[in-house]
Amino acid sequence: MVSEHSDASGGETAALALKILVAGGFGVGKTTLVGAVSEIKPLRTEELLSEAGQLVDDTDGVDQKATTTVAMDFGRITIRSGLSLYLFGTPGQDRFWFLWDELSQGALGAVVLADTRRLEDCFPAVDYFEHRHIPFVVAVNCFAGARTYGAEDVSRALDLDRGTPVVLCDARDRDSGKEVLIRLVEYAGRMHTAWLLDSVG
């Protein structure tokens, strides 16, 4: 969380920048979401999939995928005047999970992207954030040709804690992605407030 205050000349008032993670399984659309909503050219650390990677990367259902994130994606979006989000897209494969602990430091919350064709792929991300008490929303990326499920169906299938938001989205669409991020900020704000009140109660 970064706060910037106005200067002595009476310029722009305080600005707040919040750190958000975008997580989920391999090929679920994390890089696409960060790229779609970012108002700056996103930083990407993608590499071409190799034959060696075929032994460890499950590309079933995402056969057209040619690249993969090997460190992180980074982007920024201004939600409203004085509030910006710094987006950190995590790599999806098991062998890169050691990066998650570093990336999650100081994060307000996370978006867990889900693909209903490979719903089990987002279980590790859900478990990760639940165990570390990092607020998150599940955003179901509605791929063309995939069977449509309602938010309640997805919530039950993932056995989410009561109240954890599930939203349907199109990771390619900026407005859709922005709505997901707004839902996360609102939810994370409520959760952090509740935890603070509990700690002083």
Q: Estimate to the nearest angstrom the gap between the alpha carbon of 52 and the chain centroid.
A: 28
Range 46-69 burial, b when 16+ CB lie within 10 A, else e: eeeeeeeeeeebeeebbeeeeebb
- What 3-state DSSP class applies to 144? coil
- What 3-state DSSP class applies to 84? strand
Tell me the per-residue pLDDT of 82-132, one tens digit each, with 9 for 90 and over: 999 999 998 876 666 778 898 999 999 999 999 999 999 999 999 999 999
Q: Contact 88/104 with Cβ under 8 angstroms?
A: no
Residue 176: its H or E element: helix 174-200
Please report, to the nearest 10 degrees, the dihedral formed by the alpha carbons of residues 88, 94, 95, 96 taken in order: 10
Q: What type of residue is 68?
A: T
pTM, two decimals, is 0.81
Tell me the per-residue pLDDT of 26-49, one tens digit each, with 9 for 90 and over: 889 999 999 999 999 988 765 554
Kind of pairing, strands 73-80 and 2-4? unpaired
d(CA 141, CA 119) in angstroms, rounded, equals: 11
